[in-house]
Structure 1
Amino acid sequence: MSRFLICFCVILPLCVTEKAKEKAARQREAEFSDKYNTCMQGPPGMQGRDGNPGINGIPGTPGIPGRDGMKGEKGECVTERFEEPWRPNYKQCAWSSLNYGIDLGKIAECTFTKMRSDSALRVLFIGSLRLKCKTACCQRWYFTFNGAECTGPLPVEAIIYLDQGSPELNSTINIHRTSTVEGLCEGIPAGLVDVGIWVGTCADYPRGDASTGWNSVSRVIIEELPK
């Protein structure tokens, strides 16, 4: 019994000392790990299998509304105009043989329906004209629109001037030629337009013996044109 107590007393301090040493070593290892944030790693393990797909998460909360952007530049105002396509509008008046021998006044008239106020009228007379006299003379053929000559921009006219006849032969030159009087007139309102062809005198010259439409067809052609 005394031997057992002696051995127990000898071994017990040794055991206590070993445990204290192990505890101190673990404490130093823990302090080293905390200080340097490192730990010794063992060999990697086998790769695990993929897990099952997760379920949809809870919807997130709405974000903060964005700020207003910078004010843009003022745009241009564009007005679309839808107009009907232009349709031809013309008229012809013809006479087989006017054979009109007046020197002053209206020769013929043709009534035309003008569709638009912002359009122009093209007028044309074609027919035989003649002037004769024993001395110098001049005659003027011109158009009127509702009784007035064109002012947009100027009258539509043509003249024939004859210097002299043949007094030594007791006769005068008498030549009938097919001639034209043509032009454009603007500023005429829409509606009915009486287009007339007239004959008159030239300024500062005596009147002669005029003839219009002798022995041939005469025409007045009127056409409305876009500006």
Structure 2
Amino acid sequence: MSPLASRLLVLLCLALPLYGVEKVKNRGYRKEPDVDKCTGNDAEKPNCTRHSSDEGRSPCQSSMYGSCMQGPAGTSGRDGNPGANGIPGTPGIPGRDGLKGEKGECVSEIFEEPWRPNYKQCAWNALNYGIDLGKVADCTFTKLRSDSALRVLFSGSLRLKCKNACCQRWYFTFNGAECTGPLPVESIIYLDQGSPELNSTINIHRTSSVEGLCEGVKAGLVDVAVWVGTCADYPRGDASTGWNSVSRIIIEELPK
């Protein structure tokens, strides 16, 4: 055998044992995975779970170790800034008229006590009062309010006679004064053509009335009276009031 062949045979004998040892080592060794294939956010990849043996390794280094477990949720982010106003929408379709409602009730508010009737009547049977000047009859009345009006009425037989033209006047007074709100309450009888003598046959008694409203009379006790007197610029005649019949004064308080 040549010297070269002897050397190659010696090297071969030395290399065989070393190959066997290296092969035995590789049987119990797991090859590390390629780190570039499972890095960063690879925890979200399926079948990628980290094992206790992976301490010190990256969260996900090998699919051979199973899938990585998902970590705890992070802190919620803050609300963003409000967005800008959008473009105004187009006007909607006009609505239809609704059904006609029922007729409502008329309600009036009352801020004070309701008006209570207040009236009085004084009456005489056959008064037969023959004076020509002075008070004929009177009747007292209690007026409840100052802002009200008094309606007065005298009803009875009146008569006037004279030789020449004459005039007599019957009128009301309130506490001794004639009405000024707005004017006196009165009635007259005028006789132009008389008889030659006062006891002539022209002697007519007729039931007549004196009536009107008077304002401005204060509240309280009011003396309402009927008087007889003369007319302006005319002489008086022979007057008679309440002959052979009933005479009456009626007083009523009215709201303004």
TM-score (norm 1): 0.66
Partner of 2:237: 208
Work out the CA distance in 2 between the residues paired with 1:98 and 1:162.
23
Tell me if structure 2 keeps the 8 A contact 1:111–1:194.
Answer: yes
Matched, 1:194 2:206: no
Measured after TM superposition, the shift of residue 143 of structure 1 is 0.4
Work out the CA distance in 2 between the residues paired with 1:207 and 1:129.
14
Matched, 1:160 2:189: yes
Partner of 1:9: 22
Q: Secondary structure at the match of 2:249?
A: strand
2:18 corresponds to which letter in structure 1?
L
Measured after TM superposition, the shift of residue 226 of structure 1 is 2.7
Structure 1 stretches lacking a partner, 5+ long = 43-79
2:243 corresponds to which letter in structure 1?
W
Measured after TM superposition, the shift of residue 119 of structure 1 is 2.4
Work out the CA distance in 2 between the residues paired with 1:174 and 1:165.
10
Q: Among residues 212, 232, 235, which one is paired with 1:183 in the alignment?
A: 212
* Rg larger in structure: 2
Flag the 1:13–1:81 CA change in 2: closer, same or farther, 3 A: same
Residue-by-residue CA offset, 1:86-116 (whole Å, 9 max, x unaligned): 3332221111111112221111111222233
Aligned length: 181
Structure 2 stretches lacking a partner, 5+ long = 1-13, 49-108
Work out the CA distance in 1 between the residues paired with 2:47 and 2:190.
127
Partner of 1:19: 31
Tell me if structure 2 keeps the 8 A contact 1:117–1:189.
Answer: yes
Partner of 2:248: 219
1:7 corresponds to which letter in structure 2?
G
Flag the 1:211–1:40 CA change in 2: closer, same or farther, 3 A: same
Matched, 1:124 2:160: no
2:242 corresponds to which letter in structure 1?
G
Q: Among residues 64, 82, 87, which one is paired with 2:116 in the alignment?
A: 87
TM-score (norm 2): 0.60
Measured after TM superposition, the shift of residue 15 of structure 1 is 8.9
Flag the 1:177–1:41 CA change in 2: closer, same or farther, 3 A: farther
Tell me if structure 2 keeps the 8 A contact 1:115–1:190.
Answer: yes
Q: Among residues 30, 39, 50, which one is paired with 2:39 in the alignment?
A: 30
Work out the CA distance in 2 between the residues paired with 1:173 and 1:4.
185
Measured after TM superposition, the shift of residue 153 of structure 1 is 1.8
Between 149-158 and 212-221, report the one with greater CA deviation: 149-158
Between 139-148 and 110-119, report the one with greater CA deviation: 110-119
More contact order relative to length (CA 8 Å, sep ≥ 6): 1
Work out the CA distance in 2 between the residues paired with 1:147 and 1:172.
36
RMSD: 3.3
2:227 corresponds to which letter in structure 1?
W
Work out the CA distance in 1 between the residues paired with 2:46 and 2:116.
99
